[in-house]
Structure 1
Amino acid sequence: MPVARLPSVLLLFDRGTILLRDLDPGFDPSAIPGVLWDPRVQAYRTPAYRHEALRRELTRRGLPFSDDVRLPQPPLGSWSPIELRPYQEAALWAWELAQRRATVVLPTGSGKTRLALAAMARAGSSALCLVPTRILLAQWLHHIGRTYAGPIGCYGDGAHELAALTVATFESAYRHMDRLGNRFDLLVIDEAHHFGCGLRDEALEMSIAAARLGLTATPPRDAAVAERLVELVGPIAYELTIGDLAGSFLSSFDIITLHLDLTAAERQAYEGWMTTFRTVHAQFRRVAPGASWEDFARAAARTVEGRRALEAFRRARRLTAFTEAKREMLRVLLRRHFHEARVLVFTADNESAYAVAREHLIMPFTCDIGRKEREEVLARFREGALRALVSARVLNEGIDVPDADVAIIVGGALGQREHVQRVGRLLRPREGKRALVYELVSRKTTEVRLARRRRAGLAPRGAAAV
């Protein structure tokens, strides 16, 4: 009677990695990409996100294996029908054609969350949704609860509740993925552009989920970051910009750029700080003409002159963030629109946001307020009891800001990505709506060049930036 051959490889999940045990003496796992010897446990190990690739490689080599990685899946609830717009359906189809491992790029306000709900419903498997902030955590739980009949887990904002469908903040996922990594078949990554640069990438590396859906309005343009994101999430399978959808599925909008002068005292201070900065920066550029800003910052931090230059640059940026002319123009614009529209004011930093709040008695919407207060503020804004909000960064990503008509961008710090997200806050469609964006730019400063770059992100694909 023939004896059944025992599996030559046993696969086990171990704190975000896959261990290879019970190996045949003639098998060398180090020949498989990503598999390394771990002398601490006397076994070969590979990151959990390579689980499916490892299975395929073992099968290709004809090596039998026993896979004890995946924990049993708890029962899933049922989904209500989810209607999609044509471009959302096209994006979902593109993701499925990419073997359900890809990134979808859609502008703010175009319904990326709804697309993700449809993807989870169509996949019919356990899913972990990752979001960057506690505000978005509550928002995703709310949206899922409207279309999904079943328990919803939550990791973040003090909660540690596990279910077949779970939402977690990036930070909580990073801290707990060693225990969550073998429980889900699908990862949904909101604001996926936060990954790919090393910070918290391990949260994606430690999950075995073969299916992955990345969502972003602003994909990374740095080649190294983009390549890393392809490895962790998948390639871009579908992409539309604000310019592609404005006027049809998003509200039409107008942008008015107002160039404002510095006062004599501001100009003197600005030029003094920028002269200090430019002297050191020019010396660095002569030595390293192809270097990035990050390279300069690292090099400058090593010398007294370099640190002085960086501080001078920061002082110049703080000065232009909220000048006297911007103060006066903001006063004029608020007086014009306060009673006829709902206004969002965006600043470069919290210091400027609180200054605006004090001067104009506008509610600040910052990282310093708790979830309950945030919900109350948005509800009052929706009802019209609050006519304006001011924020530095909290409103940039993903938060539903209902019925905003006018945005006043006093200052920015994060470039094209931030600008696209801010404009997108106004573009949730409403019959007859045409949004209005004011951008305040200090004349003859670095803001002029930055403003020109920011606008490139609003053009339709293939359109030239002007």
Structure 2
Amino acid sequence: MSTGPLIVQSDKTLLLEVDHPQAQDCRKAIAPFAELERSPEHIHTYRLTNLGLWNARAAGHDAEQVIDALLTYSRYAVPHALLVDVAETMARFGRLRLEKHPTHGLVLVSADRPVLEEVLRAKRVAGMLGNRIDADTVVVHGSERGNLKQALLKLGWPAEDLAGYVDGEAHPIALREDGWLLRDYQREAAEGFWHGGSGVVVLPCGAGKTIVGAAAMATAQATTLILVTNTVSARQWKDELVRRTSLTEDEIGEYSGAVKQIRPVTIATYQVMTTRRKGTYSHLELFDARDWGLIIYDEVHLLPAPIFRMTADLQARRRLGLTATLVREDGREGDVFSLIGPKRYDAPWKDIEAQGWIAPADCIEVRVTLDEGERIAYATAEPEERYRLASCTPAKTAVAEALVERHRGEPTLVIGQYLDQLDEIGADLDAPVIKGDTTVRERQRLFDAFRAGEISLLVVSKVANFSIDLPEAAVAIQVSGSFGSRQEEAQRLGRLLRPKADGRAARFYAVVARDTVDAEFAQHRQRFLAEQGYAYTITDADELLA
């Protein structure tokens, strides 16, 4: 028996002893293929899933590497059946391949004829396939490339897409690199994407995902469609591309609610792309407006369903997804895998922090107690009302105000979900509140004032979760969140991770009502960050306010 930090169980769960001296090395070794499920203080639970193993396989990890990691760090003998299952699951990837045939166009090729026979009889693929060319090759209708990959993934036979890509309309794009250089991991991420042809790059907030996109554009040398979460993000992308590349402002178009410009590089918002008029998504025609050579999906974990449907028809275009976390709360990670592409690069947050590219962060959970009247109201409330009651307790407002006072003068964000709660905090602190009905111009004015140090405190709703660049933000106080959203927790911490001019650590406070669903959701939200190596210290609000 070894003394490793990992216990590997036959039900595909992995138990990691957090305090073990080898825990960090083990976490890094299993992160490419195992998903964190629970993260209490001492033992973290990971799970092996088919999609996790296939993502690892597509990223270049083979079964031998996965098995070696399990054997190296396991405290006890690893169940033999599990090792066999890992090898066989990973071997399913690529048993079917999509290729270009010189005379028949797109074809599905099998390296294992019984698998092809099984697939040909599946109802899921009915209508997607044409004539059989030979025993191992069948024609695929060109428009079904994406749909077929989705169907095959659901059948348990993920296809390796080797059918190639169209170059699209050429357009010169070069990185300036005057006064700055691509970081090693940014170059590796862009190269990993380009070598794979399509797929997802996972980097922490503040690590320069936009720069990875720019590097991919400079390699493609083609017209590019960039999809982003909101108008503020679109304008940040444009500013960054003008600063970092040879592109001029006139070459970059904005396609949003207010402006409809189609240029060689066009930046569109998910919101306008999914706007329906008379039951149709009229703006999805933008995908066909030019012969795009590259499509970039920013914050790919937020991709709306209509964009997935359109992306199924765009499999001949190179597609790059950018995100801080592949976690999707709707469970559609498989659609990202099959339609955007597998994970091509993933840098652990703590690795980037150790290199000095993102700020270290202290995560603190502050627990408040509902008073007796609130507890009775909570106990007798309908289940759907309980989270709001717990989230909006006045005790949280008092804690938020105390924390703002403690960090007076430091650039601070108070973040929440419930607008009446945020309005109250904003009024009490005499701080501006940014929410959904705040105009884009006013948002930009306030964000610019915050960046310039003219304002040191902002109260923000979930509109500031994504793609908002606030480099000097040093403190975040989260009073409520979107239930148990792990992706939101990661994005909110990400607001703080841009390196600080004075090298100080960031502080992320999550204010939580104990003995309520708020506490349960908080534990769920923290899972992703725990996987990245962030530990929450817990303090009582009474101690804080004393």
TM-score calculated relative to the size of structure 2: 0.63
CA distance in 1, matches of 2:209, 2:297: 11
Q: Trace 1:261-410 onto structure 2 (pairs within 5 A).
A: 261-273=369-381, 312-338=382-408, 340-410=409-479
Kept in 2: contact 1:246–1:253 (CA 8 A): no
Aligned twin of 1:249? 357
CA distance in 2, matches of 1:142, 1:366: 23
Q: 1:34 to 1:449 in 2, by over 3 A?
A: farther
Aligned twin of 2:128? 33
Q: Trace 1:140-151 onto structure 2 (pairs within 5 A).
A: 140-146=237-243, 147-150=245-248, 151=251
Q: 1:261 to 1:326 in 2, by over 3 A?
A: same
CA distance in 1, matches of 2:435, 2:475: 19
Q: 1:385 to 1:210 in 2, by over 3 A?
A: same
RMSD between aligned residues? 3.2
Q: Trace 1:58-207 onto structure 2 (pairs within 5 A).
A: 73=169, 75-81=171-177, 83-98=181-196, 100-146=197-243, 147-150=245-248, 151-174=251-274, 175-181=282-288, 183-195=291-303, 198-207=305-314
Percent same amino acid among aligned pairs?
29
CA distance in 2, matches of 1:386, 1:462: 32
CA distance in 2, matches of 1:404, 1:8: 57
Deviations 1:76-134 (A, max 9, x none): 35542372222212212221231x20101111111111111111111212211111211
Aligned with residue 418 of structure 1, among 479, 488, 492: 488
CA distance in 1, matches of 2:532, 2:353: 13
Aligned twin of 2:524? 453
How far apart are residue 245 of structure 1 and its match? 2.5
Query: In the alignment, residue 130 of structure 1 is paired with which amino acid?
Result: L
Query: In the alignment, residue 332 of structure 1 is paired with which amino acid?
Result: A
CA distance in 2, matches of 1:193, 1:424: 15
Q: 1:86 to 1:76 in 2, by over 3 A?
A: closer
CA distance in 1, matches of 2:246, 2:434: 30
Aligned twin of 1:305? none
Q: Trace 1:48-59 onto structure 2 (pairs within 5 A).
A: none
Q: 1:443 to 1:35 in 2, by over 3 A?
A: farther
Which secondary structure state, in structure 2, belongs to the residue aligned with residue 188 of structure 1? strand
Which secondary structure state, in structure 1, belongs to the residue aligned with residue 463 of structure 2? coil
CA distance in 1, matches of 2:168, 2:497: 43
Kept in 2: contact 1:441–1:448 (CA 8 A): yes
Query: In the alignment, residue 189 of structure 2 is paired with which amino acid?
Result: A
Query: In the alignment, residue 450 of structure 1 is paired with which amino acid?
Result: F
How far apart are residue 393 of structure 1 and its match? 0.3
How far apart are residue 166 of structure 1 and its match? 1.3
CA distance in 2, matches of 1:159, 1:317: 38
Q: 1:378 to 1:221 in 2, by over 3 A?
A: closer
Which secondary structure state, in structure 2, belongs to the residue aligned with residue 325 of structure 1? helix
Structure 2 gap segments, 5+ residues each? 1-101, 107-124, 132-139, 150-164, 275-281, 538-546
CA distance in 1, matches of 2:401, 2:530: 30
Q: 1:149 to 1:363 in 2, by over 3 A?
A: same
Which secondary structure state, in structure 1, belongs to the residue aligned with residue 211 of structure 2? helix
How far apart are residue 171 of structure 1 and its match? 3.4
Q: 1:456 to 1:245 in 2, by over 3 A?
A: farther
Number of residue pairs matched?
379
CA distance in 2, matches of 1:200, 1:145: 27
Query: In the alignment, residue 407 of structure 1 is paired with which amino acid?
Result: A
Query: In the alignment, residue 445 of structure 1 is paired with which amino acid?
Result: T
CA distance in 2, matches of 1:435, 1:215: 24
Kept in 1: contact 2:170–2:222 (CA 8 A): no
CA distance in 1, matches of 2:187, 2:297: 19
Which secondary structure state, in structure 1, belongs to the residue aligned with residue 169 of structure 2? coil
Deviations 1:36-57 (A, max 9, x none): 9xxxxxxx9764865999xxxx
Aligned twin of 2:15? none
Kept in 2: contact 1:349–1:393 (CA 8 A): no
CA distance in 2, matches of 1:200, 1:139: 22
Deviations 1:18-73 (A, max 9, x none): xxxxxxxxxxxx9883679xxxxxxx9764865999xxxxxxxxxxxxxxx98983
TM-score calculated relative to the size of structure 1: 0.73
Q: 1:228 to 1:35 in 2, by over 3 A?
A: farther
1:230 maps onto 2:337 in alignment: yes
How far apart are residue 228 of structure 1 and its match? 1.0
